[in-house]
Structure 1
Amino acid sequence: MKLEKILDKLGSIEKNSFIKIIDNIISKSPKNAKQIDRILSSSDKGLKSVDNQNISKIFALTEMEFQDHIKSEFQEITSQLDILIDIIIRDGNCIMKQDWLSRLYDTEVKHLKSKIKSLNADFENDKSELSNFRKRDYKIYKSCLKTAYHNDIENNRDAKITSDELSIMITLSEQLGLSQEEVKLINYSILPIKKIDIQDIIKGLKNIGVIFYSNKENTIYVADEMVRMLRGVRKKEVAEKFYRRTLKLLREPIINQIGREHNIDRKLSYSQKIEEIIKEGVSFTSLLLEHIYKQGSTLTERKKTLNELCEKGLNIPNLKGSTLDDKIQSLIHHFENVERDEKVGISLDGFDKMLTELNISLPKLNKDIREQFELQDEYVLKADFLLDYNIKPRDILDLINKSDLTKFIKENGIKQRGDDILNILEHYKDVENLFLENFENVAYRNLNLLKDNGITIKESELGIKFEELTKTILHSIGFNVDETLKNSLNTKKDMMDILLNLGNKEIIIVECKTSKEKGYNKFSTVSRQLKSYQNLALKNELRIVKILLIAPEFSDDFVTDCEMDTEMNLSLITASTLSNIADAFKSSKYNEFPHVLFRDIVINEDRILKALSK
């Protein structure tokens, strides 16, 4: 769930710790201080009075400093911050009830204690599968950590790892090729794990600003933006779902090779070994630099293997970069963009339909998804629910094995030639709803964004399409879009776009305008057009309740000219506002939109949304 959406759900007290940390960062003149000041200049009372959208923007501008603040917290070695952060950044753990976090924490502690016991046994056992080379790496790291920890005790100080010591230990672990899990096991073999009470865990995470806690809902929220930042703190370059997507393209001998290097049980199944590699926190970069290639591969062969993996497996053509490092960074950057992107790839209705039909074909899928993403709810195959957890259609399909995908495709009449997952996504695209979800992009005539969202349309068709979509939206909020009456009034010279028939000879005239330019600014032209429609209606003894002009946005000059006009009862409404009103209307008590709410010069979205929610 996005930070802004979480902030909208919470009260001021529940946001207080987070706001205090950002306020403290701002007071120390961060890198983007000038941009932050421009946002704060609109408020006289400081950060607390800034709206949630701008708080999200300020967080983005202070992300680097916020990350440094979190890193400094790792010096408090009894906080178990590495364990807790690794739990909350897993896919599916961004929204949790208190008891669910408690259960995940208990499970993690038991799992770590068991693995520490096994690791210690491997140290002592000459016949263990752990190679002498790997034992040497573990012993080097363990000895250095022991010194860093115990030198404080010997000097009669509180035991802690200083920031300098921590940076050295991180560098050492990277040079030894240790995974996050291996580092954790060695750390907690020196500093035994003491279970922390769940209330203290929540308080601690809330105080350092990484979670929000709603007392009313007894729910923990971790913003998508915070998850990405915390992954950076933990040196995890990509989300688990992208890591899994990449690993599933590798042959089992390669997976076994990675498993051997990180002490993963080779008796596990192929899928279990993949999950263990992800849990181990093996660096994605080192995986693609070293681990996925045949022994003795040349640099040219490695580049070719990586290119094939991206082009044929991940459907990413023309991976940028001349060196292997550059190509890997390009892939990481690609996954970051996909994750930040709010596009679903198919419409919400299409996503829901896909989930419903998956549940029929594969009855165990709901249980599998719950377990994979550690979700608490019983039934999770719902589009809105999954999107709150940033789980998209592709992420679901990636978890289904090949034979089950084939079964689903055959049972639902989906194209069988080519890539199975892409064929399924295309089948459930639901173009009409996809257009509605891209209503604002159509208004802005943004062909590139429409193409990125899976919509193909000629630029010459955008004006007509915007009009059609506006009719659909107005119809969905209960208006009578009367084509018959409109056609009877229109002449060859004067042709209004949309007419809403309110009955009793009362109408609303709607005009639709698309524009590439920022700020629609053609009042003189459009006012002549609207006045001619007004005269047409009045000649036919119709009462015009309102004239609505819908465009992507309006310039200040346009709004001023509109305010000065005394001949028309004209209101301006942006495409995004109309779209948001339609969304709010779905859950309101009204069967027909109360048009009296259209009374501003520029329609006030917040006021209307509040009115609909009552």
Structure 2
Amino acid sequence: MKLEKILDKLGSIEKNSFIKIIDNIISKNPQNGKEIEKILSSSDKGLKTVDNQNISNIFDLTEGEFQEHIRCEFQEITSQLDILIDIIIRDGNCIMKQDWFSRLYETEIKHLKTRIKGLNEDFDNDKSELSAIRKRDYKIYKSCLHTAYHNDIQNNRDSKITSDELSIILTLSKQLGLSQEEVKLINYSILPIKKLDVQDVIKGLKNIGVIFFSNKENTIYVADEMLRMLRKVREKEVAPKFYRRTLKLLREPIINQIGREHNIDRKLSYAQKIEEIIKEGVSFTSLLLDDIYKQGSTLTERKKDLNELCEKGLNISNLKGSTLDDKISSLIEHFDNVERDEKVGISLDGFDKMLAELNQSLPKLNKQIKDQFELQDEFVLKAHFLLDYNIKPRDILDLILKSDVSKFIKDHGIKQRGDHILNILEHYKDVENLYLENYKNVAYRNLNVLKENGITVKESELGIKFEELTKVIFKGLGFNVDDVFRNTLNTQKDMMDILLNLDHNEIIIVECKTSKERGYNKFSSVSRQLKAYQNLALKNDLRIVKILLVAPEFSDDFVTDCEMDMEMNLSLITASTLSNISEAFKTSKYTEFPHVLFRDIVINEERIIKALSK
């Protein structure tokens, strides 16, 4: 869930810790101070009175400083911050009830203690599966950490690890090629580990600004923007879902090779090994630099293998970069862009239909998704629900076994040639709803955004398409969009776009205008056009209840000219307002939109949505 949306759900007290941290960063002249000052200049009373959208913008501008603030918290090595952050950055843990978080935390502590016991036994057992080289690496790291933690006792001070010691320890762990989970196990084999009170844990995380806690809903929220930052702090370059997508393209011998390197049980199934590699925190970069290739492969062969993995497996062509490091950085950047992108790829209705049919074909899928993403709700295959957790259609399909995907495709008559997952996504695209979700972009004639959202259309067709979509919206509002009656009224010279027939010789005339330019500003030409339609209707003894002009937006001058016009009963409505009213109408008690609500010069979205909700 986006930061702005979370802030909208919370009270001022629940946001207070987060606001204080940003306020403190701002007071220390951050790198983007000038841009922040421009946002704050509109408010006389500081950050607390800034709206949630601008708080989100300021957070983006202070990302570097906020990240450093969190890194500093790691210097308190007994805080269990690594354990807690590793829980909340897993896919699906961005929204959790307190009792669910408590259960996950308790399970993690028990799991850690069991694995620490096993690791200590491996240290003492000459016949353990740990290789001699790996055992040596573990012992070197453990000895250095032990010295760093206990050397304070000799100087009559409390045991702790200083920031200088911590930086050396971190460098050592990287040079030894230890995964984050291996580091964690060794750390807590020396440092005391005990289960803390969950309310103290939540309070601590809230105070350092990484989570929000809603007292009313008893729920923890972690913003999508914060999750990306926390992964950077934990040096996890990609989200688990993208890591999984990549690992599933590798043959089992390669997965076994990675497992041996990081002390992962070879008796586990292929899928379980993949999950363990992700949980281990094995660096994605080091994996693609060294771990996935045959022993002795040359640099040229590695580049070729990585290109094939991306092009044939991940459908990413022309990976940027000439060196292996550059190519890996480009892949990480690609996954980051996909995660930041709010586009679902198919319509919401299409997503819901896909989930319903998957649930019908694969009865165990709901439990699989619930377990995979550690979701608390019993039934999770709902589009809006999953999108709040930033789980998209592709993420669901990635978890299904290839044999089940093939069966699903055959059962539902989906194209079988080519990439099966892409074929499924195309099948559920639901073009009309996808267009409706991009109604505003059609109004703005924004071809590039439409293309990115999976819509291919010629610019010359956008005006007609906007008119068609507007008709669909008014039909959805319960109006009689009467094309037959309109055609009998229209002449070769005067052709109104949409006529809403209210019966008893009463009509609403709707005119649709698209525009690339910001602020529609052609009142004189459009008013002549609308007055011609008005005269046409009056000649046919029709009563015009309202004339509506739909456009992407209107300039101040246009609104003023409209206010001064006394000849037409004209109201202006933006494309986004009409779209939002349509969404609100779907959940209202009305079967037909009460057109008396169209009474403003510029239609007031907030007032109408409030009226519909009563």
TM-score range (shorter-chain normalised) is over 0.9
Partner secondary structure for residue 66 of structure 2: helix
CA distance in 2, matches of 1:163, 1:592: 66
- The alignment of Structure 1 onto Structure 2 pairs a total of residues equal to 614
1:460-609 equivalences in 2 (<5 Å): 460-609=460-609
CA distance in 1, matches of 2:382, 2:509: 38
Give the deviation of 1:334 after TM superposition. Answer: 0.6
CA distance in 2, matches of 1:4, 1:208: 19
- Could you say which residue in structure 2 is the equivalent of 1:152? 152
- Could you say which residue in structure 1 is the equivalent of 2:249? 249
CA distance in 2, matches of 1:480, 1:423: 37
Relative to structure 1, is the Cα distance of residues 143 and 381 closer, same or farther in structure 2, using a 3 angstrom cutoff? same
Give the deviation of 1:52 after TM superposition. Answer: 1.5
Give the deviation of 1:484 after TM superposition. Answer: 2.6
CA distance in 1, matches of 2:547, 2:151: 78
Give the deviation of 1:319 after TM superposition. Answer: 0.5
Moved more, 139-148 or 285-294: 139-148
CA distance in 2, matches of 1:455, 1:71: 42
Give the deviation of 1:242 after TM superposition. Answer: 0.3
Give the deviation of 1:384 after TM superposition. Answer: 1.0
Give the deviation of 1:490 after TM superposition. Answer: 1.4
CA distance in 2, matches of 1:613, 1:453: 31
- Could you say which residue in structure 2 is the equivalent of 1:360? 360
Give the deviation of 1:528 after TM superposition. Answer: 1.5
Runs of 4+, deviation exceeding 4 Å: none
Give the deviation of 1:67 after TM superposition. Answer: 0.9
Give the deviation of 1:553 after TM superposition. Answer: 2.0
CA distance in 1, matches of 2:38, 2:176: 46
**1:523-569 Cα distance to aligned partner (Å, 9 max, x none):** 22212212222222233333333222211222333333333333333
Relative to structure 1, is the Cα distance of residues 601 and 167 closer, same or farther in structure 2, using a 3 angstrom cutoff? farther
CA RMSD of aligned residues (A): 1.5
Give the deviation of 1:350 after TM superposition. Answer: 0.9
Matched, 1:263 2:263: yes
Partner secondary structure for residue 550 of structure 2: strand
**1:468-488 Cα distance to aligned partner (Å, 9 max, x none):** 001111111222222233222
Write the letter of the residue equivalent to 2:281. Answer: G
- Could you say which residue in structure 1 is the equivalent of 2:41? 41
Write the letter of the residue equivalent to 1:366. Answer: N
Give the deviation of 1:590 after TM superposition. Answer: 2.3
Relative to structure 1, is the Cα distance of residues 166 and 518 closer, same or farther in structure 2, using a 3 angstrom cutoff? farther
Give the deviation of 1:12 after TM superposition. Answer: 1.5
Relative to structure 1, is the Cα distance of residues 525 and 164 closer, same or farther in structure 2, using a 3 angstrom cutoff? farther
Give the deviation of 1:285 after TM superposition. Answer: 0.6
CA distance in 1, matches of 2:267, 2:596: 69
- Could you say which residue in structure 1 is the equivalent of 2:318? 318
Q: Return the TM-score normalized by structure 2.
A: 0.97
1:34-113 equivalences in 2 (<5 Å): 34-113=34-113
Give the deviation of 1:24 after TM superposition. Answer: 1.5
Q: Return the TM-score normalized by structure 1.
A: 0.97
- Could you say which residue in structure 2 is the equivalent of 1:203? 203
Partner secondary structure for residue 503 of structure 1: coil
Relative to structure 1, is the Cα distance of residues 39 and 609 closer, same or farther in structure 2, using a 3 angstrom cutoff? farther
- Could you say which residue in structure 2 is the equivalent of 1:164? 164
Matched, 1:142 2:142: yes
Gaps of 5+ in 2: none
Give the deviation of 1:63 after TM superposition. Answer: 1.3
**1:215-265 Cα distance to aligned partner (Å, 9 max, x none):** 111111111111111111100010000000000000111111111111101
Relative to structure 1, is the Cα distance of residues 159 and 579 closer, same or farther in structure 2, using a 3 angstrom cutoff? farther
- Could you say which residue in structure 2 is the equivalent of 1:386? 386
Write the letter of the residue equivalent to 1:3. Answer: L
CA distance in 2, matches of 1:610, 1:504: 29
Give the deviation of 1:180 after TM superposition. Answer: 0.8
Moved more, 268-277 or 71-80: 71-80
CA distance in 1, matches of 2:536, 2:227: 57
- Could you say which residue in structure 1 is the equivalent of 2:20? 20
Give the deviation of 1:604 after TM superposition. Answer: 2.7
Moved more, 24-33 or 459-468: 24-33
CA distance in 2, matches of 1:152, 1:530: 84
Relative to structure 1, is the Cα distance of residues 593 and 138 closer, same or farther in structure 2, using a 3 angstrom cutoff? same
Identity of aligned residues (%): 85
CA distance in 1, matches of 2:18, 2:547: 45
1:434-449 equivalences in 2 (<5 Å): 434-449=434-449
1:288-367 equivalences in 2 (<5 Å): 288-367=288-367
- Could you say which residue in structure 1 is the equivalent of 2:7? 7
CA distance in 2, matches of 1:42, 1:489: 51
Partner secondary structure for residue 502 of structure 2: strand
Write the letter of the residue equivalent to 2:481. Answer: V
Moved more, 472-481 or 241-250: 472-481
Gaps of 5+ in 1: none
Give the deviation of 1:16 after TM superposition. Answer: 1.5
- Could you say which residue in structure 2 is the equivalent of 1:431? 431
